[in-house]
Structure 1
Amino acid sequence: MKNKPDDLISILEQKETFYPFMRSGKCRFGVPNTAELNEFMELIKAILFPGYFSRQTIEADTFGNYLKVNLLNMQTILTSIIHKGYCFDCENDEKSCAHTVTESAGMSERFIETLPLIKELLISDIEATFLGDPASKSHGEVILCYPVIQAMIHYRVAHQLYKSGVPIVPRMITEMAHSLTGIDIHPGAEIGKNFTIDHGTGVVIGETCVIGNNVKLYQGVTLGAKSFPLDDNGNPIKGIARHPIVGNNVIIYANATILGRIRIGENAVIGGNTWVTRDVPANEKVLL
């Protein structure tokens, strides 16, 4: 080894080599971790789709207790995750963590109240996927095998947390799905009911994208940003609407790229491998 251990430590401990890429440890609760997030998502799936993702045998006479136990376990884990998310955010701003465990528990309870809505939307996504693919044999096959459903479970959950203002956690949840499926959906995107993606790999849906009802995408579709206005220092201005608005009943075929805050009108069809940077009227077909 060319450098002695003490020499390496001397180099590595220099503040300019790690700041802000090292956690300072100000908050004893740490940061959200993937083990907790994985456990949380497994409980979500077990609650929303009993028998598909749970290890227990589901019996009619014990189903209520099954749901109660899983809901309580899920709430406990989510409360911890939300609290760590807020502590992470406060530490970024060099503030003391202002959100207590009690406040995080309240947010966790409010999230649980959205589970019926999440389930309703996911069932519509499953139905759209099943009806839209002649190769699918059953709804159960769609739930277990189709990457879009894994991605949408993560997205629908993350989106509710995102709307509640929970820091970092929603993005971590959707990035878990990105790693699993190759489908990249930002939790800030607005997606209507009966949404599906055929195959799925390589799809990108940006933070400020708005998608209506009954929309179908194919693999490789990008709903992205075209360019970024810059501030006085030459850095991109964050938080502005910069992604497409897609109307109801739109189909976008494989590897289409749609960029900027443009509108794709209802019932439009965007052909494969197209490059779209202008508004598309309702009922129009865009082909190469």
Structure 2
Amino acid sequence: MDGLPPRDAPEDLDLGQVAEQLRLLRLVSQQRRYAGRPVPRLPVRAEITDLLADLIAALYPRHYGPSGLPPDRTDGYVVALLPALRERLARQVELELLLAVDAEPADCHDRARQTADRVMGALPRIRDLHDTDIAAAYAGDPSAKSLDEIVFCYPGVAAALRHRIAHELYGAGATMIARIMAEHSHSVTGIDIHPGARIGPACFIDHGTGVVIGETAVIGRNVRLYQQVTLGAKRFEEAGDGSLVKGQPRHPVIGDDVVIYAGATILGRITIGRGAVIGGGVWLTQSVAPGTVVTQARPKLDSLPAPD
């Protein structure tokens, strides 16, 4: 009957025993991860996603700042927000750096401050770069009525902005925080961009659902991608012990002015030349020359005899 426990549930559940079993499992896991060191504190995922939202608010305060923020108070809001953001970001970066086996607390503190300053100092450049993404979306979508509509409503534009922030952190060495931001963006937009991917100006991801862009992918200027596009790896290189080699270039390089239509899959460290057009549903594992149009074979249509 509804509401009754399963028949195999213990009649007298000892929650203390459950807690002890979980403690032992945590202990084994922590010994494996931290090699007997004191268990460090972890970065706080909720705080990192809040930081991402506040960084976006600093970049676009009229769209993502406090509700009802008057235009004449926008500058003051940003001026007040930035110092607190720097401190919060430095703290989360420090927690990540302290996870390293050879972490020195004083050094981690200094490096975290430097990383936070680098990211905060990059905000004007990120805003300027992302404005080109917004302009590309407006130019590339005849249904767009205004730039404000694009900022509010387009998941591909939202994903690009979050990627540009995460990419700055990734390049500064805060790779876990960058991944947390990227995966939060993935869950919000349905677009999976590794923070290591390098994306040039005026990138427009139209519709966007199901797009996957791998860690070492390089995307040039004025590139347009449609939904379900994959820029992935063809294979993973293995070391002598069978473990995967990390960080090797294994994703495509997309030239300037390329258009890749829905459902295309492009794998491996290949180059798609400038101005190429990759049709929907195409599967590519070889480089494509500039200006080439690649499409699937036309489907064959056979006429069936009319039923008797």
TM-score by length of 2: 0.85
Q: Does 1:19 align with 2:25?
A: no
Q: Could you say which residue in structure 2 is the equivalent of 1:259?
A: 267
What is the percent sequence identity of the aligned residues?
A: 38
- Structure 1 portions without partners, runs of 5+: none
Q: Which amino acid aligns with 1:19?
A: S
Q: Could you say which residue in structure 1 is the equivalent of 2:175?
A: 167
Q: Could you say which residue in structure 2 is the equivalent of 1:274?
A: 282
Q: Secondary structure at the match of 1:51?
A: helix
Contact 2:216 2:249 in 1 (8 A): yes
The 1-side partners of 2:125 and 2:251 are apart by 25
Contact 1:196 1:215 in 2 (8 A): yes
**1:172-191 pair list within 5 angstroms:** 172-191=180-199
**1:85-100 pair list within 5 angstroms:** 85-88=96-99, 90=100, 93=101, 95-97=103-105, 99-100=107-108
**1:139-154 pair list within 5 angstroms:** 139-154=147-162
**Comparing 233-242 and 132-141, the one that deviates more:** 233-242
- Determine which structure has more spread, i.e. the larger CA radius of gyration: 2
The 2-side partners of 1:274 and 1:20 are apart by 45
The 1-side partners of 2:32 and 2:262 are apart by 40
Q: Which amino acid aligns with 2:130?
A: L
Shift of 1:279: 0.5
The 2-side partners of 1:94 and 1:20 are apart by 16
Q: Could you say which residue in structure 2 is the equivalent of 1:231?
A: 239
- Deviation string for 1:93-152 (max 9, x for gaps)? 375545443432232122111111100111000000111111111100000011012111
**1:33-44 pair list within 5 angstroms:** 33-44=44-55
Q: Aligned residue pairs: how many?
A: 284
TM-score by length of 1: 0.90
1:67 to 78, 82, 106: 78
Q: Could you say which residue in structure 2 is the equivalent of 1:50?
A: 61
- Structure 2 portions without partners, runs of 5+: 1-8, 297-308
Contact 1:85 1:168 in 2 (8 A): yes
Shift of 1:156: 0.3
Q: Could you say which residue in structure 1 is the equivalent of 2:165?
A: 157
Q: Which amino acid aligns with 1:85?
A: E
Shift of 1:8: 4.1
Q: Could you say which residue in structure 2 is the equivalent of 1:203?
A: 211
**Comparing 12-21 and 31-40, the one that deviates more:** 12-21
The 2-side partners of 1:77 and 1:47 are apart by 14
Q: Secondary structure at the match of 2:221?
A: coil
Q: Which amino acid aligns with 2:96?
A: G
Contact 2:223 2:259 in 1 (8 A): yes
- Deviation string for 1:177-223 (max 9, x for gaps)? 00001100011111000001110000000000011000000000000
The 1-side partners of 2:109 and 2:20 are apart by 38
Q: Which amino acid aligns with 2:164?
A: R
Contact 2:258 2:275 in 1 (8 A): yes
| C-alpha RMSD of matched pairs (Å) | 2.4
